[in-house]
Structure 1
Amino acid sequence: MNLADSIPTHPAALSGKAPRALRDRMLFWGLIALFIFGLFGLIGATGWQETWDELRKLSAWQVGVLLALSMINYLLRGLRWHILACRLGICLPLRYSLLHFIGGFAMTITPARVGEFVRLRWLTRMTGWSIERVTPLPLADRAFDMAAMGLVLGVALLISGQGNISAGVVAITAIASAIVVTRPKLLIKLVEALFGAIGRWPRPFARLRQAARSMGLFSNAPTTGPALFLSVVGWMAEGYALYLLLQWMGAEVSIATATFIFVFATLAGGLTGAPGGLGGAEATMMVLLAMNGAPLHVALAATTVIRITTLWFAIALGAIVFPFSEALSHKSKTA
Structure 2
Amino acid sequence: MRQIICLVPFALVAAWAVSNWSLVASGVSRLGGAHIGWLVMGGVVTGLCWVAASCVRQGTIVERLPTGKLLASQFAAGAANHLLPAGLGAHVVTLRFLRGCGIPLDRSTAALALYSLVEAIARVGLLVTLVLAFPGALRLDELVPPGRAVFTVVLVAVVLIAAVTVVLLVARRLRRIVFDFLRTALTDVRALHKKPSRTLALWGGAVAFPLLQAGVLVCVALALGVSVPWYHIVVAYLAASIAAGMIPAPGGIGSVEPALAVALVMVGAPLVVATATVLGFRLLTVWLPLLPGVAVLAALVRWRIL
Sequence identity (%): 20
Which structure ranks higher in relative contact order (CA pairs < 8 Å, sequence separation ≥ 6)?
A: 2
| 1:252 aligned counterpart, secondary structure | coil
Change (3 A) 1:124 1:241: closer
Q: State yes or no: 1:244 paired with 2:214.
A: no
Query: What are the within-5 Å matches in structure 2 for residues 130-141 of structure 1?
Result: 130-141=104-115
Change (3 A) 1:31 1:102: closer
Q: How many positions carry a matched residue from both structures?
A: 271
Counterpart of 2:237 (choices 257, 262, 267) is 262
**Equivalent AA in structure 1 for residue 245 of structure 2:** G
Pairwise CA distance, 1:155 = 2.5
**Equivalent AA in structure 2 for residue 136 of structure 1:** A
Match of residue 160 from structure 1: 134
Pairwise CA distance, 1:218 = 3.4
Q: How far, CA to CA, are the matches of 1:220 and 1:240 in structure 2?
A: 31
Q: How far, CA to CA, are the matches of 1:268 and 1:76 in structure 2?
A: 22
Change (3 A) 1:231 1:252: same
TM-score, length-scaled by structure 1: 0.67
Q: Is the 2:261–2:275 contact (alpha carbons within 8 Å) kept by the matching residues of 1?
A: yes
Q: How far, CA to CA, are the matches of 2:130 and 2:305 in structure 1?
A: 44
Pairwise CA distance, 1:71 = 0.9
Which consecutive unaligned segments of at least 5 residues does structure 1 have?
A: 1-20, 174-189
Stretch of structure 1 that moved more, 262-271 or 313-322: 313-322
Which consecutive unaligned segments of at least 5 residues does structure 2 have?
A: 1-7, 141-149, 154-162
Counterpart of 2:65 (choices 77, 92, 117) is 92
Q: How far, CA to CA, are the matches of 1:111 and 1:204 in structure 2?
A: 25
Residue-by-residue CA offset, 1:23-42 (whole Å, 9 max, x unaligned): xx8xx969984x667x59xx
**Equivalent AA in structure 2 for residue 302 of structure 1:** T
List, as ranges, runs of 4+ consecutive aligned residues in structure 1 with deviation greater than 6 Å. 28-32, 190-193
Residue-by-residue CA offset, 1:229-261 (whole Å, 9 max, x unaligned): 232223222222222322232221111111011
Q: Is the 1:265–1:280 contact (alpha carbons within 8 Å) kept by the matching residues of 2?
A: no
Match of residue 101 from structure 1: 74
TM-score, length-scaled by structure 2: 0.73
| 1:271 aligned counterpart, secondary structure | coil
Change (3 A) 1:36 1:324: closer
Q: How far, CA to CA, are the matches of 1:148 and 1:32 in structure 2?
A: 35
Change (3 A) 1:143 1:234: same
RMSD: 3.8
Query: What are the within-5 Å matches in structure 2 for residues 111-150 of structure 1?
Result: 111-116=85-90, 117-127=92-102, 129-150=103-124
| 1:279 aligned counterpart, secondary structure | coil
Q: State yes or no: 1:286 paired with 2:261.
A: yes
**Equivalent AA in structure 1 for residue 73 of structure 2:** H
